Amino acid sequence: METKYIFVTGGVVSSLGKGIVAASLGKLLQARGYSVTIQKFDPYINIDPGTLNPYEHGECYVTDDGHEADLDLGHYERFLDIATSRANNITTGRIYQNVIRKERKGDYLGKTVQVIPHITDEIKRNVKLLGLKKQYDFVITEIGGTVGDIESLPFLESVRQLKWELGQNCLCVHLTYVPYIAAAGEVKTKPTQHSLQELRKIGIQADMVLCRADRAIPDDERAKISLFSNIPVDSVISVRDSDSIYKIPRMLHEQKVDDILVDLLKLDRPPADLSVWDTLIQRLEHPRHHVRIAMVGKYVDLTESYKSLTEALVHAGMHTSTRIAIDYLDSEQIEREGTAMLANYDAILVPGGFGKRGVEGKIRAIQFARENKVPFLGICLGMQLAVVEYARHVAGLTDANSTEFALDTPHPVIALITEWTDRSGNVEKRDHSSGLGGTMRLGAQRCPVRSGTLLASIYGDSVYERHRHRFEVNNDYVDRLQAAGLTIAARTPVEGLTETVELPTAGEHAHPWFLGVQFHPEFTSTPRHGHPLFIAYIKAALAHASEQRAQQSAAGDSQASQEKHS
């Protein structure tokens, strides 16, 4: 069949969940037997989100091929269980960069380069890039931003042109917000009407409108939206708030969204089979266990900064029948108030991050986990700080630090790597004066795992995960750290860079579960399969919780016995 294109646009306000909607539509089509991919077009001028503050744009996701991407690509991969690439995330910066590069080469033969047709042609070329590979039945394209924003106009103009060019092989789904006015006691459809009107002014007639609200949209209000938007009432869909993003595909399916899309495109496939998905939701809804995780970070005011990590823990909960309660603790608060707040957690996690702020609080949290035998997982910076903590308090390197935070440290156990081999075998170089964009060790790489280690019990004989970092464990200190009891279970095959550190489960420095990884395993976790590292981590948290309960019970029995005989 010819590739079909579905565009997802948004109106009224941002942050409505276009990425979740696009992923849910893709899941429904995939459940009907179609091959699907999803791409995100962002209107900001950055080449990619790699240099954006997480408070500005949430988490920066990384694809297998090393592209720093919008966090929505994480939703696409988690829902569809597929890998995305650089081609799945395009920004205004990338579009203009490509057009200017072509202009400098003389590709436009002296023409005046303009938004129309040159920018819009480049956008359309990128939209169709994945479809032209003939690997997918559907290419869903999420257009970032909100209809009416000046930044997204070239993208919407391109959608208008493509709807004309592709004919019946193209649909537009518009997501809007329908607010509930408490004083009036009713929902208001006027913002949605205006948003759809704005879309029509651009020349785009939506084929379906999804109405986000904190409650179900009454039928008479759906009829009103239908009347003012030239959309059949059955295609006006109520998308009420949900306690889990993974319930959205079923919610849309129950309103026959996939039936409507297939009918509009004149296709004929069996109904969607959501049985596997429903099983996952059943596990999520009916856990048998409960654990509390302390995530110690610096971006805790915006939990979207740790989106993939949070979801990976949820997936592990699905596969261990465990409800995961995550408390996001500000590492700067630990610096001020100490580690007492960590006392009642079943496990501690220190995620990735950049910059000096809050680092000492993270180190104190790691020390607490190590000394009190609390299961610990450090990711990227979290692993590096675990090395710093161990160097300072066990290996005798009192002032150990990372050169990211202290260039003049006498013991740079973490330092900037100046030369390394990327996943394609190319040698990359950098120094402290290099630019920040795209200059990290990025993408998936494979390396062997040392047998008999905790890591080997999780991954087997090799690990293949995605990276995003500039600093590495300094090889000059590896022997001293290992002599002090730190186990390095994986190193890159070419440069010998440390990929993981752990503590043994027996001996002088024994710990039940202590692991730091330089890579980002959260990027490859999915609801269907979970991830072996996070599943192992949650099992360790469950074991710790069980042990703590047993100790408390024994202590209670002992106290009761003493009172009885006193």
Task: State the catalytic residue, choosing from 75, 511, 520, 544.
Answer: 520
Cβ pair 70, 144 in contact under 8 A: yes
DSSP state of 409: -
HSE-up of residue 290 (Cα within 13 Å, Cβ side)? 4
Confidence of residue 431 (pLDDT cuts 50, 70, 90): low
Given this model, what pLDDT does residue 33 score?
94
Give the Cα separation of 472 and 496 in Å (integer).
Answer: 11
C-alpha distances (whole Å) from 550 to each of 275, 468, 553, 557 are 39, 40, 5, 10
Long-range CB pairs of 60-64, under 8 A, 24+ apart, other chains included:
60/468, 61/308, 61/523, 62/442, 62/443, 62/466, 62/467, 62/468, 62/520, 62/523, 63/88, 63/89, 63/443, 63/466, 64/443, 64/444, 64/466
Q: Residue 167 — φ and ψ, nearest 5°? A: 60, -130
Give the Cα separation of 466 and 119 in Å (integer).
Answer: 32
Given this model, what pLDDT does residue 353 score?
84
Mean pLDDT of 425-433: 57
Cβ pair 473, 413 in contact under 8 A: yes
Residue 358's Cβ-count burial label (10 Å; 0-12, 13-18, 19+) is buried
pLDDT value at 401 more than 50: yes
Cβ pair 262, 316 in contact under 8 A: no
Mean pLDDT of the chain: 92
pLDDT in tens, 456-489: 999 999 999 999 988 999 999 999 999 999 999 9
User: Of 443, 445, 439, which Cα lies nearest the Cα of 85?
Assistant: 443
Cβ pair 400, 413 in contact under 8 A: yes
pLDDT in tens, 138-171: 999 999 999 999 999 999 999 999 999 999 999 9
User: Of 501, 282, 251, which Cα lies nearest the Cα of 395?
Assistant: 501
Give the DSSP per-residue string, 369-384: HHHTT--EEEETHHHH
Residue 211 bears catalytic tag: no
Give the Cα separation of 284 and 437 in Å (integer).
Answer: 38
Given this model, what pLDDT does residue 354 score?
82
Give the Cα separation of 480 and 400 in Å (integer).
Answer: 12
Residue 221 bears catalytic tag: no
pLDDT in tens, 533-563: 999 999 999 999 999 888 877 766 666 666 6
pLDDT in tens, 50-61: 878 776 777 889
Q: Catalogue the E-assigned strands of 360-437.
A: 376-379, 400-402, 411-416, 419-421, 427-429
pLDDT value at 400 more than 90: yes
Given this model, what pLDDT does residue 14 score?
87
Computed from CA positions of residues 283, 310, 63, 176, in that sequence, does the dihedral angle turn out positive or negative?
positive
pLDDT in tens, 321-365: 999 999 999 999 999 999 999 999 999 999 988 888 889 999 999
Least reliable range by pLDDT among 189-198, 275-284, 415-424: 415-424
pLDDT value at 225 more than 70: yes
For 486, the token pair is 């730190």
Give the Cα separation of 99 and 105 in Å (integer).
Answer: 10
Given this model, what pLDDT does residue 429 score?
57
Give the count of beta carbons closer than 10 Å to the beta carbon of residue 47. 16
Confidence of residue 420 (pLDDT cuts 50, 70, 90): very low
Give the Cα separation of 39 and 84 in Å (integer).
Answer: 8
What are the b/e assignments for 268-297, b being 16+ CB within 10 Å? eeeebebeebeebbebbeeeebebebbbbb
For 203, the token pair is 């020349």
Percent of the chain predicted with pLDDT > 90: 81
Q: Which amino acid is at 488?
A: I
Given this model, what pLDDT does residue 566 score?
62
For 119, the token pair is 């920018």
For 539, the token pair is 């099992």
Confidence of residue 133 (pLDDT cuts 50, 70, 90): confident
pLDDT value at 297 more than 50: yes
Ranges of H-type helices in 460-531: 478-483
Residue 522 bears catalytic tag: yes
Give the Cα separation of 360 and 402 in Å (integer).
Answer: 12
pLDDT in tens, 174-209: 999 999 999 988 999 999 999 999 999 999 999 999
Give the Cα separation of 512 and 454 in Å (integer).
Answer: 10
Given this model, what pLDDT does residue 115 score?
96
Least reliable range by pLDDT among 17-21, 119-123, 352-356, 409-413: 352-356
pLDDT value at 418 more than 80: no
Cβ pair 229, 213 in contact under 8 A: no
Given this model, what pLDDT does residue 461 score?
96
Cβ pair 295, 306 in contact under 8 A: yes
Cβ pair 322, 331 in contact under 8 A: no
Cβ pair 178, 212 in contact under 8 A: yes
Computed from CA positions of residues 488, 493, 499, 505, in that sequence, does the dihedral angle turn out positive or negative?
negative
Q: Give 14 or 516, the one with higher predicted confidence.
A: 516
Q: Name the residue with tokens 């959608």.
A: 159
Give the Cα separation of 403 and 32 in Å (integer).
Answer: 52
Task: State the catalytic residue, choosing from 59, 142, 311, 522.
Answer: 522
pLDDT value at 1 more than 70: yes
Give the Cα separation of 122 and 140 in Å (integer).
Answer: 18
Task: State the catalytic residue, choosing from 60, 172, 380, 447.
Answer: 380
pLDDT value at 434 more than 60: no
pLDDT in tens, 239-255: 999 999 999 999 999 99
pLDDT in tens, 63-98: 999 999 999 999 999 999 999 999 999 999 999 999
